[in-house]
Structure 1
Amino acid sequence: MTNYDVSYLYKSMDKNPVWELFKNLRDVLKKDELGVEIAKIAIPAAMALAADPIASLIDTAFIGHIGPVELAAVGVAIAVFNQASKIAIFPLVSVTTSFVAEEDATRSFEGDPEEIETLESGFAGNSEKEELIPKVESANSFSVSPSQGKLDEGRQNCRHNSAASSALIIGGLLGIVQAVFLIFAAKPLLNYMGVKPDSPMLNPAIKYLTVRSLGAPAVLLSLAMQGVFRGFKDTKTPLYATMMGDIVNIILDPIFIFVFGFGVTGAAIAHVISQYLISLILMGKLMGQVDLLPPRMKDLQFGRFLKNGFLLLLRVIAATFCVTLAASLAARHGSTSMAAFQVCLQVWLATSLLADGLAVSGQAILASAFAKNEYDRATLTASRVLQLGLLLGLGLSLVVLVILGYASGLFTTDKEVLSLLSLGIPFVVATQPINSLAFVFDGINYGASDFTYSAYSMILVAAVSTVLLLLLSSSFGFVGIWVALSIFMSLRALAGFWRIGTRTGPWSYLQG
């Protein structure tokens, strides 16, 4: 984008920041330097993020042909596992991407004292950012060459990155804790989700959740490594690993479910094997790029991860609580309602998570831009990814309409479930643009290290949405649940608009 475009955008945003972010939509697909960089990061990231939900959709399709009870049981078990995983790893992945990108940006300088002094002075007076960025010392103090990232021992193409080392240690420990917790607490957790001791869903749900929990260490470790690769703006490697794992999952599903006759347990076994394969592939690739042992143990950034990770933990708990509550309320209406909700939710997440590719791209570029005080680039990046998010959301609405409107029979042949699906389809279709904007705003906030606002705004949104879920579910049943979820995503997007529109936090530079 030219200097004229930058100047025009700044002048326009002085009038109305939110509105001006979406002007000149005709240039949204412009193949300039920024557009190409966004695409190189976003497309592989989106494909990788969509691969796992798509594999889950295939799981759902296979299990749906066992029976509606098994489909509903697995839906509840997946909801429990996903909530535990998100609570444990999502904060880690998000802060890892920002921290790795920021640390990598500071070490990209060629040892120019003036550039380093400018970088450090930019953090002065900004206590939150100062804590997030490791203090930049002279180029000679680095254990790696700033330009090549070579180790002192002469190992080529490797570099130290204390944020990456910290993330892997925390991810591995969290994975073990999650596995132990889910295995021993499976029954009470499922009871809380509405699967009572006399429910026919209980036994298949316990079997699936217990076996799938064995893969938790691999899941959390692989997601932590994906956060590291995103920080390096490399989303192709996670895509390759994820696709290989999911292909194995798809191949093993019918073998374990039908050939060996393991049923829902077979689906869980196939998923666990695929997750360990993904983790092994990523570890092998990462060890070729990063020296995972930091020069000094005190270089590990556990304090930074814990402080900002805790803020995002609050945010994730609030967000996943709403979705999990919705699944619980659907389960309380019976296995038919839960089966229909599971199909709608899997499609809803699989498609709208494509926008997370843009969020990852925006986060990585913004983190680097803010670390270098490149505010022009930060503004243009936020504008472009939001425009692309809106365009993507509109396209996804058409895709979802085709998938759920004309291919529902792929997931189940039960007439009652199909009848409820027809009621949920309009909500899943209509919320795609809103979901895309909400997810992209998440990436923008994380890239700007605006973790505090992200946490507290989500808590407020979740509090309102929880009340609406309880009220609307009791009054309108299945339809009420989807009305409340639609409001939930709308409020999330509104919170993102509010931050930029008020020119506060990291966006305060727009005031001048």
Structure 2
Amino acid sequence: MHAPPEETPSQHREILRLALPAFLALVAEPLFLLTDSAIVGHLGTPQLAGLGVASAMLLTAANIFVFLAYGTTSVVARQLGAGNRGGAIAAGVDGAWLAVGLGAVTAVVVAALAAPICRLFGASPEALDHAVTYLRISAISIPAMLVVLATTGVLRGLQDTKTPLVASALGFTSNIALNLLFVYGFGWGIAGSAIGTVIAQSGMAIALVVVLMREAGRHRVTLRAHPGRILGAARTGIPLLVRTLALRAILLVTTWVAAGLGDVPLAAYQVSATIWSFLVFALDAIAIAAQALTGKALGAGDLVRTRSATTLMVRWGVLSGFVLGIVVLLLHTTLPRLFTSDPAVQAGITAALIVVALSQPLSGYVFVIDGVLIGAGDGRWLARAMVATFVAYLPLILGVHLMGDWLLSDSAGGGTRGTSNAVTWLWLAFTAFMAIRGVLMWARVRTDRWMVTGAIR
């Protein structure tokens, strides 16, 4: 990478202004899952294992369309940088309509195929029943989840991360209250957890749509659906869709390997993966700032500011990773007790969190560069790189699958120790995936090929 000019205090303030509210808003999604995991985990290990399968599929169904947020942020920020706020809002309206259409179709498919989808993971019959129940009900929330993605992307592109924060805070608070009421108050079990999440997600979507409608009204932007523009938005998002599909495939294969190890390792993986997701979203706050600032700077044709902000945000990402890693190390024996009373599951979570903690500086680097390249509109390269990473990761995670019986056997320690060994190897393989991804991103960001200036549509 070329040596950038010295960063200015205003850049630090701008990044902080965007990243801090984004952090608090982003952690709402893993907090939804952490809340569900903590509440469901005390119902029993099969319920927690079932939640692990169902939540993996639910997040996959929603997050394969994360381009609704990321792509919209880039396009809106570039329009804003070019001085066209009305065009920025119009692009956001197109993204919202696209979210409604994709969400409705996806919800029907997931609900109809909930049983065969969950069966693919090979979980125990009891865990499978709980997974199907949770997934079939929570599929109702998929349109709302996609609308939240799209409208949040619009606001981020407009350099507003505070409004999504307010919506997320209200959604998270209501999710806790509703889950406790439905699961324990009404005795609905894992179904109650799913219903509570559906209501909370729907409320968030309605609130953010109202904000978008007000912005459109101020700038006289029509709210009518334009099929041609919506299809154009869909085409623009295809590279990011491919990138996200490859990423979700990596996460699903990892969950499949965890399920093959048994309910106890799967439950331990579910909790540790949820904690990892919380950390990822925390680090992704800087990536969100990177998307918004990179898009705006390139839209204005300011390459010097783009380079300077990238270097500064990478520094922030790695430092934040170190801090988060230290926190997790300090709490790695305490956190498991919040999610389960099963000693074997606790041991697996404890072992996993050590690896998770040590990998956080790497995660900080990867997610910030990912945000920079998304903000730059470098979707095609990101798609190719993630597919290549998936191909390189498969032998590693399948190796853990092949070692599964041995890792859990008496010769490898058996019992609680066997669970710890299996989950540790699972996370070591996943950390290798992050390392491969980081090397590819380092090679890309050193060049100038990703810095294309001007507004894009």
Q: Is the TM value for this pair above 0.5?
A: yes
1:479 alignment counterpart: 424
Q: Which structure 2 residues correspond to residues 277-296 of structure 1 after superposition, within 5 A?
A: 277-291=203-217, 294=222
8 A Cα contact 1:351 1:400, kept in partner: no
1:459 alignment counterpart: 387
8 A Cα contact 1:101 1:367, kept in partner: yes
2:336 alignment counterpart: 408
Q: Tell me how far apart the structure 1 counterparts of residues 216 and 356 of structure 2 sit (CA, whole Å).
A: 41
Query: Percent identity between the aligned chains?
Result: 30
TM-score (norm 2): 0.90
How many Å apart are 1:507 and its aligned residue? 7.8
1:160–1:500 CA distance, 2 compared to 1 (3 A) = closer
Q: Which amino acid aligns with 1:83?
A: T
* Runs (5+) with no aligned partner, structure 1: 1-12, 109-145, 150-158
Larger displacement relative to structure 2 (187-196 or 70-79):
187-196
Q: Tell me how far apart the structure 1 counterparts of residues 202 and 240 of structure 2 sit (CA, whole Å).
A: 26
1:299–1:212 CA distance, 2 compared to 1 (3 A) = closer
Q: Tell me how far apart the structure 2 counterparts of residues 494 and 46 of structure 1 sit (CA, whole Å).
A: 25
* Runs (5+) with no aligned partner, structure 2: 408-421
How many Å apart are 1:466 and its aligned residue? 1.6
Residue 204 in 1 paired to residue 149 in 2? no
1:419 alignment counterpart: 347
2:48 alignment counterpart: 71
Q: Tell me how far apart the structure 2 counterparts of residues 93 and 383 of structure 1 sit (CA, whole Å).
A: 24
1:101 alignment counterpart: 77
Q: Tell me how far apart the structure 1 counterparts of residues 227 and 43 of structure 2 sit (CA, whole Å).
A: 52
- Please tell me the root mean square deviation across aligned C-alpha atoms, in Å: 2.1
Q: Which structure 2 residues correspond to residues 346-425 of structure 1 after superposition, within 5 A?
A: 346-425=274-353
Residue 234 in 1 paired to residue 210 in 2? no
SS in 2 for 1:405: coil
How many Å apart are 1:242 and its aligned residue? 0.8
Q: Tell me how far apart the structure 2 counterparts of residues 247 and 384 of structure 1 sit (CA, whole Å).
A: 34
Q: Which amino acid aligns with 1:49?
A: L
CA deviations over 1:396-440 (Å, ceiling 9, x no partner): 001222333223211111011112223212211111111111111
1:155 alignment counterpart: none
Q: Which amino acid aligns with 1:501?
A: R
CA deviations over 1:195-223 (Å, ceiling 9, x no partner): 36xx1111111111111111111111111
1:160–1:483 CA distance, 2 compared to 1 (3 A) = closer
Q: Tell me how far apart the structure 2 counterparts of residues 285 and 297 of structure 1 sit (CA, whole Å).
A: 17
1:333 alignment counterpart: 261
From 446, 449, 456, the counterpart of 1:504: 449
Residue 40 in 1 paired to residue 24 in 2? no
Residue 165 in 1 paired to residue 165 in 2? no
**Greater share of helix residues, 1 or 2?**
2
SS in 2 for 1:193: coil
Q: Which amino acid aligns with 2:59?
A: N
Q: Which amino acid aligns with 1:82?
A: L
Q: Tell me how far apart the structure 2 counterparts of residues 160 and 436 of structure 1 sit (CA, whole Å).
A: 29
From 83, 91, 95, the counterpart of 2:67: 91
Q: Tell me how far apart the structure 1 counterparts of residues 18 and 36 of structure 2 sit (CA, whole Å).
A: 28
2:33 alignment counterpart: 56
Q: Which structure 2 residues correspond to residues 114-193 of structure 1 after superposition, within 5 A?
A: 161-193=89-121
Considering only CA atoms, is the larger Rg found in Structure 1 or Structure 2? 1
How many Å apart are 1:300 and its aligned residue? 5.7
Aligned length: 434
TM-score (norm 1): 0.81
2:58 alignment counterpart: 81
1:305 alignment counterpart: 233
Q: Tell me how far apart the structure 1 counterparts of residues 110 and 223 of structure 2 sit (CA, whole Å).
A: 36
SS in 1 for 2:49: helix
1:284–1:264 CA distance, 2 compared to 1 (3 A) = same
8 A Cα contact 2:89 2:215, kept in partner: no
Residue 221 in 1 paired to residue 147 in 2? yes
Q: Tell me how far apart the structure 1 counterparts of residues 38 and 136 of structure 2 sit (CA, whole Å).
A: 21
